[in-house]
Amino acid sequence: MKLAIVGVGKMGKSILEGLLRAEMLEASDIGILDTPERTQQVALETGVTPLRLEDLRRCERILLSVQPKDVATLAPQVAHPNTGYISIMAGVSTAVLSRRLGTRRVVRCMPNLAATIGKSSTAITGPREAEEAGDLEFARALFATVGDVYDLPERLFDAFTGMSASAPAYVAVVAEALADGGVKQGIPRAQALQLAADVLIATGELLRKKHPAVLKDEVSSPGGTTIHGLAALEARAVRAALIEAVEAATLRGHELGRDE
């Protein structure tokens, strides 16, 4: 078994579907482990192999797609010699993973919800032992099936989590607020939501080519509607609120990573 995925919730299943879609591995080379009901359901949907805990000892690599709070309980059950580990547990450092799993073949990754549509931004890091064993290269290829991959120093992982991994929630709040503003001015709710989604998608594409300040200035004509709207945002300290959201999420990442 080339890869076992422990935890096939929304993120774990998205990664599974991405690597199958990209034909990175055959379904017969992949095993999954979750609750008995979830394991059987996803195995039937995808054609991969349902596993039990004892089956993990014959897997080359294991992807840990579970909650950070589960690491202390789970690690002794999945720790096997000659196995490489890939973790997407927020806040759990490679040092903690190595100590819990008894190996330096650990790779830490942080994707975001856009993995469900193949548009994730995933940060990745690992020690020399993971590089030498090919685990880092494997993880890069794995997460490339669901979006873009960025090698990042581990000291920046919590900041990446607070910004990129959490950002879909922040942007969803912005989209909902824009739609609410449209509804307040008389636009039907369904249409307002579609317009908000469309403008955020288009703006994202524009931001790949232009600095945010340039884009803002191009839209803001002297004495026009946009500059008045921007003044209202500045009066409500929207910039400061978003900066504080990233900071708060980063600090929470630090807390989750504390080894108890």
Tens digit of pLDDT for each residue in 184-243? 999 999 999 999 999 999 999 999 999 999 999 999 999 999 999 999 999 999 999 999
What are the pLDDT digits (tens) for 97-114? 999 999 999 999 999 989
* 111 within 8 A of 122, measured Cβ to Cβ: yes
pLDDT of residue 260: 44
DSSP letter at 156 equals G
pLDDT of residue 69: 86
The model carries a pTM of 0.86
Neighbours of 190 (CB within 10 A): 10
Residue 64: strand pairing partners: 6, 87
Q: SS3 for 149?
A: strand
Alpha helices per DSSP H over the chain:
10-21, 36-46, 71-78, 94-101, 128-132, 135-144, 157-160, 167-184, 189-207, 212-219, 225-235, 238-256
The CA distances from residue 152 to 37, 88, 113, 136, 155, in Å, are 36, 14, 19, 12, 8
In angstroms, the CA 105 to CA 198 distance is 43
CA-based nearest residue to 61, from 153, 10, 126, 9:
126
* Residue spans of the chain under pLDDT 70: 259-260
Q: SS3 for 145?
A: coil
The CA distances from residue 2 to 13, 92, 139, in Å, are 17, 24, 12
Q: How far is CA 213 from the centre of its chain?
A: 27
pLDDT of residue 259: 54
Angle, alpha carbons 259-112-179 (nearest 5°): 125
CA-based nearest residue to 159, from 58, 243, 41:
243
